[in-house]
Structure 1
Amino acid sequence: MALAQDEADDAAVTEEAVQADPAPFAGMGTAYWTVNTDVSVEPENVWMLDLSNGGRVAIRLKPEWAPEHVERIKTLTQQGFYDGVIFHRVIDSFMAQSGDPTGTGRGGSELPDLKAEFNRVPHLRGTVSMARMGNSEDSANSQFFIVFYPTMAIDGKYTVFGRVISGMDKVDAITRGEPPANPTRIVQASLASQNKAPPATSAPAPGAEITADMLNNAASGSDE
């Protein structure tokens, strides 16, 4: 069942609140959930997303958090799966979701669904987690979401596999909507180790072909 907007609003807290209340991190060494922001370090674990809004986003993949999910992201990226895919569900003050080639929230890759790899990493700003289909914990496939603001209510319910290390301002600029009228698109996805240059021109995304009715019909079968 998808997290409702009002529940997401209740769960969203400020960075200051997180620092003031360390309870969610009790017993967890900070070395576990902090990330290296240097793109040149372990470039095979840095996911680059070139967006149609003209920005490049770098995401640190963390195999120690979720090895199978990280491997899935790498495999699909190397296949070119994410190139051209839109952000089909973008909720202000919550998250931006992508990874469905159909743009409806119901699609995925031809690879089998993944078993959940829930971990203790909190959903802080910039956290990247795998979305699920339906109510099954083991239904993640290709869809993912990037968190705009800390949202602790979903900790332990979705598999965290990375965090944005640069370009968060470009994530903030992703067009809102369910679906957006003119969705932001992933022009090119790559690993830093592939040394792919950003596309010469990030063409504006075309008008959405996905209607609100299509999303509403899909809602019963799609989770985060």
Structure 2
Amino acid sequence: MRKLSFAAALLLAGPAFATGLEIDVEGEANGIVTIDLFEDVAPQHVERITALAEQGAYDGVVFHRVIDGFMAQTGDVQYGREGANLARAGTGGSDMGNVPAEFSDRSFGRGVVGMARSRDPDSANSQFFIMFEPAPHLDGQYTVVGEVTDGMDVVDAIKRGSSAANGSVAEAPDVMRRVRVVE
């Protein structure tokens, strides 16, 4: 009997990976953002994002932290829901537990999608961010999970937060109306 490689065994044992996401954004920005997910670079993170998207957990979640010239952050499925008191947005996650870091040699360039986390490198859960501009200081410090392949004009139009409040968007933040897994 032939022995499978570790990677092949993981692929056969786990759920089928999707290749990307389509995010319908509404607010100051309106349109669809298409993201190619890097299953080969961050398989556990991609599995988490796709599982949450398939459950509809990201639908109605806002871009709660948006820093001009840096990035737009979203994905707080616990405290980042549209219409909720957003004072705690950015501090929550899913009930699925944290995902250990999967750092790579991929660089944080424009359009790259990374997983948000606390100071603990192994604390990524549901939140992610999309880069407006390159940020090489994040390389090897945060997990790269994908890249925008279409709709960067939509990302560029996302409502910016207050520079005095570290990018927090206090009023009428843009929202991920619907997030779909695509192949």
Aligned to 1:106: 91
Q: Write 1 or 2 for the structure with the bigger share of helix.
A: 1
Deviations 1:132-179 (A, max 9, x none): 02x110000000000000110111110001000000000000000012
**Preserved contact between residue 118 and residue 158 of structure 1 (Cα < 8 Å):** yes
| SS class of match (1:68) | helix
| SS class of match (2:61) | coil
Aligned to 1:93: 69
Count of aligned residue pairs for this structure pair: 150
Q: How does 1:1-224 map to 2 (within 5 A)?
A: 44-52=18-26, 53-101=29-77, 102-103=79-80, 104-133=89-118, 135-177=119-161, 178-193=168-183
- Give the TM-score normalised by structure 1: 0.65
| SS class of match (1:75) | helix
**Preserved contact between residue 119 and residue 156 of structure 1 (Cα < 8 Å):** yes
**Preserved contact between residue 90 and residue 180 of structure 1 (Cα < 8 Å):** no
Q: Which moved more, 1:138-147 or 1:179-188?
A: 179-188
Displacement after TM superposition at 1:181 (Å): 2.2
Deviations 1:25-53 (A, max 9, x none): xxxxxxxxxxxxxxxxxx93121100013
Q: Any stretches of 5+ residues in structure 2 without a counterpart?
A: 1-16, 81-88, 162-167
**Preserved contact between residue 94 and residue 148 of structure 1 (Cα < 8 Å):** yes
| SS class of match (1:171) | helix
Instruction: Give structure 1 regions of 4+ aligned residues with deviation exceeding 2 angstroms.
Output: none
C-alpha distance 180-169 of structure 1, shift in aligned 2 (>3 A): farther
Aligned to 2:13: none
Q: Any stretches of 5+ residues in structure 1 without a counterpart?
A: 1-42, 194-224
| SS class of match (2:46) | helix
Q: Write 1 or 2 for the structure with the bigger share of strand.
A: 2
**Preserved contact between residue 89 and residue 180 of structure 1 (Cα < 8 Å):** no
Identity, % of aligned positions: 49
Displacement after TM superposition at 1:112 (Å): 1.0
Distance in 2 between residues matched to 1:56 and 1:192, nearest whole Å: 13
Displacement after TM superposition at 1:180 (Å): 4.2
Distance in 1 between residues matched to 2:93 and 2:43, nearest whole Å: 19
Distance in 1 between residues matched to 2:152 and 2:181, nearest whole Å: 17
